[in-house]
Amino acid sequence: MSFQDIFKEGFLENTTNISALSIGITLVLAFIIGVFIFQVYKKTYQSVVYTKSFNISLVMMTMVTALVILAVTSNVVLSLGMVGALSIVRFRSAIKDPMDIVFMFWSIASGIITGAGFYLLAIAGSLVVGIIIYMLTKNVKQETPYMLLVSFGDETAELQILDKIKVTVPKYLVRSKTVDKQGTELTVELRIRNGETTFINEINQIKSVSNAMLVSSNEYSV
């Protein structure tokens, strides 16, 4: 027997038959894990706009990945062709939240493990990751970044404004101060807990304060 025959019989024609039961178990388990990821993402989402379509894509990503890995493990030649085909795929969707990347990798990893037949590892790993993400996100206090713009005419009002900010918000930073003949404009970057914005009304009642405006800020470094 030549090397070509050995290579052909042991490598090219080495195909494992996939039973219908194995396909069913893999897809059902991948769907259950995907739904679990779906629920964890929904319960722990902290950004402003919740995207349901992205969350649904996590479920489908888990199932599709499991299906691909199930096919790859059945044939070595198919696995090589699949690697070449997937290497040209490019995803250009913008990821707005870094946690979205974590959930994407979680879905792909769960699909790979499930498709490879490590069912217990897929279930246990998903439970541990889900519990850790839930605990970490729920223990974090929400502090929304804002920009406060205050216009006033008296210098003594600046001290009153800063004193009011100190006793109200946990963190603040004076970003800019503009002084002209009409008065002074102060820009302060701060974080507010639980949407407490009533202190703006108190600042506006300070003598010589003509305008007080609070604007949401996505970029912050306080």
Please say if the pLDDT value at position 220 is more than 60: no
Overall average pLDDT of the 143-169 stretch: 81
Of 213, 210, 208, the residue nearest 154 (C-alpha): 208
Position 131 confidence tier, pLDDT thresholds 50, 70, 90: very high
Output the CATH code of domain 143-216.
3.30.70.60
Where are the chain's structural domains? Answer: 3-138, 143-216
pLDDT of residue 46: 73
Contacts of 80 (CB under 8 A, 6+ apart): none
pLDDT tens for 178-217 read 888 778 888 888 877 666 777 888 888 888 888 888 887 6
User: Are 38 and 55 within 8 A, CB to CB?
Assistant: yes
Please say if the pLDDT value at position 75 is more than 80: no
pLDDT of residue 48: 59
Backbone angles phi, psi at 103, to 5 degrees: -70, -35
Overall average pLDDT of the 170-182 stretch: 82
Higher pLDDT, 9 or 124: 124
- SS3 (DSSP) at 82: helix
Overall average pLDDT of the 136-155 stretch: 76
pLDDT of residue 6: 45
The number of residues making up the chain comes to 222
pLDDT tens for 199-210 read 888 888 888 888
Nearest-5° Cα angle at 41, 43 to 22: 125
CA distance 193 to 175: 20
Overall average pLDDT of the 72-83 stretch: 62
Could you tell me the CA-to-CA distances from 129 to 19, 32, 36, 41, 110 in Å, in that order? Answer: 30, 15, 11, 12, 11
User: Are 142 and 194 within 8 A, CB to CB?
Assistant: yes
pLDDT of residue 130: 93
Greatest Cα pair distance, the chain, in angstroms, is: 99
The reported pTM is 0.62
Backbone angles phi, psi at 37, to 5 degrees: -65, -40
